[in-house]
Amino acid sequence: MSFLKLTALACAALTLGACSSLFQPDYHKPLQAKREAWEHIKPGCSSGADCPLVNVDTVHFADEPQLDTLVQQRLLQMTRNSPDSSVAPTLQAYEQQFLNRAAPRFSSYLQAKVREQHDGLVIIELSSYLDEGGAHGVPGRGFINWSRPLHKELTLQDMLLPGQEAAFWQAAEEAHRGWVNMLADRPASFATDWPFKKTPHIALTYGGVILKYDVLTITPYAMGHPEIKIDYPRLNGVLRPELFPGRG
């Protein structure tokens, strides 16, 4: 084959490669999110601050409909006040059901926000607060780690190399010990009174793997929702390599 023919074939291959790359999604560009927010009080209520209300502040993803659906489903799951309670089909239906039965001063807050995006991941943080007249309301938290290349939510098993779950929680417990030691004015019995526990709320943020805890899990209620960070170098050989920031 002549030199000219080889050159033409090489140029054609390069051109095809360049063309195919043009049609690949650009995961360095953030996924666009549209905010939707509203607050409604119980119809006919005129008692001001005592009026029951529902406050919703969420996000929608027109370019990722599966994520859009998942966010709304997860918010609805956070409205359950008992394991056997049913879940409304939509946020609007939940609002109607809640306000229909709500007594004075009842309130429900639901929020979903984009915490950050990096390396083809969209990290959604979910928050809820349900007040049904008790001494204080019941707050909730959660995360969604959405993989844009895979079009799915990553579970802990998706994040870890095979057989590394025990090593992950060992790293988490070590991070917890360091976190406890950094707490100011903690009583001597804090580590005994509030020992390490696992949490389902895990986020693959750019600065580290974040563990978030529900109230009264590893701290008193007044300390809210504590966060513990595991630095990525501690998870070498534990976390899937492609999930380290900059390696994907």
| pLDDT (tens digit per residue) in 217-234 | 999 999 999 999 999 999
CATH topology of domain 34-153: Heat Shock Protein 90 (3.30.565)
Q: Does the pLDDT value for residue 197 go beyond 50?
A: yes
Please say whether the beta carbons of 148 and 61 come within 8 A: no
* pLDDT at residue 23, rounded to an integer: 55
Distance CA 22, CA 26 (A): 9
Q: Does the pLDDT value for residue 3 go beyond 60?
A: no
Q: Which amino acid is at 30?
A: P
| pLDDT (tens digit per residue) in 104-163 | 999 999 999 999 999 999 999 999 999 998 778 899 999 999 999 999 999 999 999 999
Range scoring the smallest mean pLDDT among 52-61, 78-87, 206-215: 78-87
* pLDDT at residue 20, rounded to an integer: 42
Pick the closest to residue 200 from 218, 212, 217, 216 (CA basis): 212
Q: Write down the domain spans for the chain.
A: 34-153, 156-243
| pLDDT (tens digit per residue) in 90-100 | 999 999 999 99
* pLDDT at residue 120, rounded to an integer: 96
| pLDDT (tens digit per residue) in 6-60 | 455 544 555 555 444 455 667 889 999 999 999 999 999 988 889 999 999 999 9
Whole-structure pTM value:
0.88
H/E stretch holding 204: strand 201-205
Q: Which amino acid is at 59?
A: V
| pLDDT (tens digit per residue) in 158-194 | 999 999 999 999 999 999 999 999 998 889 999 999 9
Backbone region of residue 148 per phi and psi (left: phi > 0; alpha: psi in -120 to 50; beta: other values): alpha
* pLDDT at residue 28, rounded to an integer: 82
* pLDDT at residue 15, rounded to an integer: 55
Would you say domain 156-243 falls under CATH 3.90.640.20?
yes
H/E stretch holding 144: strand 138-147
CA 152 from centroid of its chain's CA atoms: 13
The mean per-residue pLDDT over the stretch 59-66 comes to 97
